[in-house]
A and B are shown apart, each in its own frame.
Chain A
Amino acid sequence: MLDVIIIGAGVTGSAIARELGRRDRSVLVLEKGPDVCEGTTKANSGIVHAGHDAKPGSMKARMNVLGSRMMPTLARELDFPYRRNTSLVIGFDDEDRKTLEKLKEQGEENGVEGLAIISGDEARGREPNLSKKVTCALLCRTGGIVDPFLLNIALAENANVNGVQFEFGKEVKEIHRERGGFVVKCADRSMYEAKYVINAAGVYADYFHNLVSGRKIHITPRRGQYLLMDKKTAGFVDATVFQCPTKMGKGVLVTPTMHGNLLIGPTAEDIDDKEGTFTTAEGLAEVLEKAGLSADNLPTRQVITSFAGLRAHEDGGDFIIGEVPDCPGFFDAAGIESPGLTSAPAIGVYVAQLITERDHAPEKKNFVAKRKGIPCMATASPEERKRLVAANPLYANVVCRCELVTEGEIVDAINRPLGAKTLDGIKRRVRAGMGRCQAGFCTPKQMDILSRELGIPLEDIVKSGKDAKILCGPTKQADPNGTICFGYTNAADLESRKQN
């Protein structure tokens, strides 16, 4: 029997895994997807929120402020991109100003430092592209941005290095309480036993909670659609620009990403489909329109991609973190919507503490707190480049030209602990294919490398999930059984089709 099973390898599950790995206990993370960072974590704003939005006293407020404080140290320890770029919540009239003042008070009550109300002109002094109509703004000096993928990946890798096991493609279906622990059954009929189960299942967390508890919770997938712009737009804004929050969330933001792109979004649409991560024409139009209110001359021609993610919104509106009262040994980390990314490190510490209070596992002497990320040739100095290339010539062979990602980095991404097995996995680790051509040129090259490193045929390479195959077979095999292939096998067929 294992000590702990965590359901979900998103940022929350991985943060908990990393913290649990500090002590002597057996921990297994079961993830439905093919990789870490496959659910809510893969599609969000990448913001480290200062912590003024959540209601004082709420779990959200507590975790947000703690997480935001932990982030700088964690970023150094685990070597993921993070920057305090500050944030601005902008207002357009007196009513907004009142809201901003309330936010400031709320933030201060939550323990957020460095909040100030500034005038529209001061705001434009900092961000010249802000709308001329902005009259006031709440300046949050502790606001930051992070690479959400690498935060998740770094946490998971470090957990793995410290002995936490991860299994992918494991869709948990059933959880039973048995013999002082839990039996967890997966869709592929595999079974695991553990003393404790931690539910970090994102939009599916209500399903698992409700399996074991009579006190039902309900999570609504709240869709957010985004547009991402070319790095040419770097510097359009330096701070993260929020609009005044509404009941549905923090409104549409305009923010730089850690890599110099410009990101706008999200929408906030409550939907029923927990897999409904598709964009809509209306949603994308709404983002463009609303983001256009924050900044003048938004470079909308520079859009390189759009995407949608689902927030796990629980009816109560707060994070649900802790042992389920009517199911001892089962711990929730549910309803983790924004500011979930910011909060993840704090949630990890908190949940690990709860487990430690129960299992009293001793601290590991050989815990490795530090992780070194994959080198980044694109941002390396000329000296660093020379050093890297001298050590490994593959760092000089560029595969993704838009983001300047080399074969060396891609090989690293594949061969690290919990390495990439898919094109999306490579993309999230080293950004290959994330640039302006969106993998048009480098997809075949990345596939060659994946095939070589993993020893699998090209045809088995997937974008993300197991059915997301890039290719369907070799050429020259048209009409092998005389069935589906060859739309037109002869001239007569062709003629009849043309006449239709």
Chain B
Amino acid sequence: MADKSYKTVIIGGGPAGLAAASSAVDSGLDAGDVLVIERDNVLGGILNQCIHNGFGLHTFGEELTGPEYAQRFEDKVKERHIPCLLSTIVVDISTEDGKTAREAGREKNPKKIVSAMNKTDGFFTVEADTVILAMGCRERPRGALNIPGYRPAGIYTAGTAQRFVNIEGKMPGRKVVILGSGDIGLIMARRMTLEGAKVEVVAELMPYSGGLKRNIVQCLDDFGIPLKLSHTVIDIQGKERVEAVTIAEVGPDRRPIPGTEETYECDTLLLSCGLIPENELSTQLGVELSRVTNGPVVNESLETSVPGVFACGNVLHVHDLVDYVSEEASEAGKRAASFVLHEGENEEDGTVIPVTAADGVRYTVPSSIRIGHMEDLQRIRFRVGAVFKGASVEIDFNDTVFRSQKKKILAPGEMEQVILKKSDLTGFDGLKSITIRVRKNEDI
């Protein structure tokens, strides 16, 4: 049935997919048993258009631009001779017998059938023991924000504008209003300004920015671009091309406050209002998704609810830094390799400990730990739901505080992590659950 067979097929050749691929090979798989499938005609994903610097401090100890960072991982994949299919779209992932893996039972690991197509090979399928989901995310479009008004040209997500400017060498507009202070929006405020556009204002619905602090400083403050928190767009004027955008302040209920309207003449509205993991393929496969992250629910091995299917990078949860994507993806690659090479081993301890988010923590990745599969150190990543100053991140084992870490600041725009030792878990008698929460200072 399948045209070719692989140990691991990686869906996506962006930063996550590339790191996962080289890590899978470094962990013992033959390069020829690994396949990367990328929908674009180049590897590197969105990094190709992120021409600003700030990538790689964590990974390489130096500040790289997006394309440079991508090139380093692309080189790793090339050095290892890992096959990559470019301009190839995966249309479906299913299991051998047509059942979802969960239906087939956890004991059995049914082969995954990946259906894809491209201009050279046409419509084809490959078979895989394991699949690593690394499809990344997309930007929330205007429609999902229910912004009223006309639907003229000149309304783009920040990422679309970024592609126009940095890859195509074209200007999407000259007078710009930006809604949302996500990092891509902030970066584009600077980028458009440097290319001669005038960025009038950045409006942010929430009372805090969704982007990194340093981007506010060097992308907005440096150029005198105002950031209006608790503001949103309430009207778009212009029937064919954007002619003006009206913003208004919002109250605590996030509804516009009458009388606070301000209209900016402009030809462009850029949107940077959040990223959504692209899990359409995962859903087809029957992977369970988290309602908070919109990404798969995973265990300590970054394995989804479908055995042998792993997830990493922005398809799992939206990251703030690509360095963390690479780190997580390397882990996924390693775990997938180990799944193939050591299947059936490591089963001495079947205990599953749920990891729960509470009090200001929106989610955790992973959301469960099988102690038998745990490595010596286990990283738990999470994000908070509001800005907390001088609060503590608390790890509870069952109902008691296991560890508490004071944090100067916790913000939704930044990903946080705690690291647990395996001995922490095995040394705790009767461990049933782990909870990560934010403890405000006055509570302590």
Q: Do chains A and B interact in one complex?
A: yes
Decide yes or no whether A494 CB sits under 8 A from chain B: yes
Question: Contact between A438 and B169 (Cβ–Cβ < 8 Å)?
Answer: no
- A382 within 8 Å of B (CB atoms): yes
> What separation, in Å, do the CA atoms of A398 and B118 have in the docked complex?
8
A288 to B149, CA, bound (A): 17
Contact residues of A between 440 and 480, Cβ < 8 Å to B: 440-441, 443-444, 458-459, 462-479
A136 lies within 8 A of chain B by Cβ: no
* Pair B142/A438 contact, Cβ less than 8 Å: yes
Q: Which residues of B lie under 8 Å from residue A440 when comparing CB positions?
A: 138-139, 141, 156-157, 159-160
With both beta carbons as reference points, the residue of chain B lying nearest to A458 in the complex is identified as B170
- B140-166 contact mask (Cβ, 8 Å, vs A): 1 or 0: 011110101111110011011001110
- Among B115, B149, B173, B239, which residue has its beta carbon within 8 angstroms of that of A472? B173
B157: A residues at CB distance < 8 A: 440
A494 to B164, CA, bound (A): 26
Closest residue of chain B to A407 (Cβ to Cβ) is: B119
Q: Which of B149, B156, B171, B234 has the most CB of A within 10 A?
A: B171
A264-279 CB contact bits vs B (8 Å, 1 = yes)? 0000000000010111
Q: Contact between A463 and B152 (Cβ–Cβ < 8 Å)?
A: yes
Looking at the assembled complex, report how far the CB atom of B52 sits from the nearest CB atom of chain A, in whole angstroms: 15
Q: Which of B117, B196, B236 contacts A478 (CB 8 A)?
A: B196
Contact present for B267 and A487 (CB under 8 Å):
no
Interface membership of chain A positions 470-500, coded 1 if the CB is closer than 8 angstroms to chain B and 0 otherwise: 1111111111000011111000001001101
Measured between beta carbons, the chain A residues less than 8 angstroms from B172 are: 470-472
A472/B171 in contact, CB under 8 A: yes
A386 within 8 A of B: yes
Q: Say if the beta carbon of A59 comes within 8 Å of chain B.
A: no
Closest to B149 in A: A278
Complex Cα–Cα for A438 and B138 (A): 10
With A470-B153, A476-B169 known as contacts, the answer to whether A437 contacts B138 (CB < 8 A) is: yes
Q: Which chain A positions have C-beta within 8 A of B188?
A: none
Chain B residue with the shortest CB-CB distance to A461: B153
Return B257 CB to nearest CB of chain A, in Å.
13
Cross-interface CB contact of A396 among B123, B152, B280, cutoff 8 Å: B123
Q: By the criterion CB–CB under 8 Å, are A389 and B241 in contact? A: no
Q: Are A401 and B148 in contact (CB under 8 A)?
A: no
* A393 with B120, Cβ < 8 A, contacts A304-B144, A467-B240 known: yes
- Count A-B contacts at CB 8 Å: 162
A396 touches B118 (CB 8 A): yes
Closest to B237 in A: A278
Q: A305-B141, A485-B196 are in contact. Are A475 and B150 (CB under 8 A)?
A: no
Interface check A1, CB cutoff 8 A: no
Chain A window 161-185, contacts with chain B (Cβ cutoff 8 Å), 1 for yes, 0 for no: 0000000000000000000000000
Does chain B have a CB within 8 A of A397? yes
Given contacts A440-B160, A485-B174, contact A494 B148 (CB under 8 A): no
Question: Contact between A390 and B122 (Cβ–Cβ < 8 Å)?
Answer: yes
Interface assignment of B305: CB less than 8 Å from any CB of chain A: no
Minimum CB distance partner of A472 in chain B:
B171
Alpha-carbon gap, A382 to B123, bound state (A): 8
* With known contacts A443-B160, A463-B153, A475–B141 Cβ distance under 8 A: no
User: Could you say which residues of chain A place their CB within 8 Å of the CB of B80?
Assistant: none
A74 to B39, CA, bound (A): 38
Decide yes or no: A474 and B169 within 8 Å by CB, A279-B149, A494-B224 being known contacts: yes
Q: Residue on A with the closest CB to B157?
A: A440
- Within the assembled complex, what's the spacing in Å between the Cα atoms of A397 and B142? 27
Quick check: is A5 within 8 A (CB to CB) of the other chain? Answer: no
Which chain B residues border A398 with CB–CB below 8 Å? 39, 89, 117
Taking CB atoms, residues of chain A closer than 8 Å to B118 are 396-397
Q: Is the CB of B150 within 8 A of A444?
A: no
Q: Mark B188-224, 1 if CB is under 8 A from A, else 0.
A: 0000010111110000000000000000000000011
**Smallest CB–CB gap between A265 and chain B, Å?**
13
Q: Is B27 an interface residue (CB 8 A)?
A: no
Residues of A within 8 A of B224 (CB): 488, 494, 497-498, 500
A459 touches B150 (CB 8 A): no
B378 near A: Cβ within 8 Å?
Answer: no
Question: By the criterion CB–CB under 8 Å, are A459 and B153 in contact?
Answer: no
Known: A437-B139, A471-B164, A494-B223. A283 touches B148 (CB 8 A): yes
Is B2 in the interface zone, CB < 8 Å from A?
no
A119 within 8 A of B: no
**Chain B residues whose C-beta falls within 8 Å of the C-beta of A478 in the assembled complex:** 195-196
Chain A, Cβ-Cβ closest to B191: A475
> Which residues of chain B from 93 to 123 have any CB-CB distance to chain A below 8 Å in the complex?
115, 117-123
- B171 CB, min distance to chain A CBs, angstroms: 5
Q: A281-B234, A478-B196, A487-B197 are in contact. Are A304 and B163 (CB under 8 A)?
A: no
* Bound complex: CA A478 to CA B198 (Å): 11
Q: Known: A382-B123, A393-B120. Is A473-B170 also a contact (CB below 8 A)?
A: yes
Given contacts A396-B118, A487-B198, contact A475 B171 (CB under 8 A): yes
Q: Could you name 9 residue pairs across A and B whose Cβ atoms are closer than 8 Å? A: A305-B144, A389-B122, A389-B123, A390-B122, A396-B117, A396-B121, A458-B168, A463-B153, A476-B195
Which 7 residue pairs spanning A and B have beta carbons closest together? Answer: A478-B196, A305-B143, A438-B141, A485-B196, A487-B198, A463-B153, A498-B224
Hey, which bits of chain A sit against chain B, CB under 8 A? 227-228, 232, 275, 277-281, 283-284, 303-307, 382, 385-386, 389-390, 393-394, 396-398, 401-402, 404, 436-441, 443-444, 458-459, 462-479, 484-488, 494, 497-498, 500
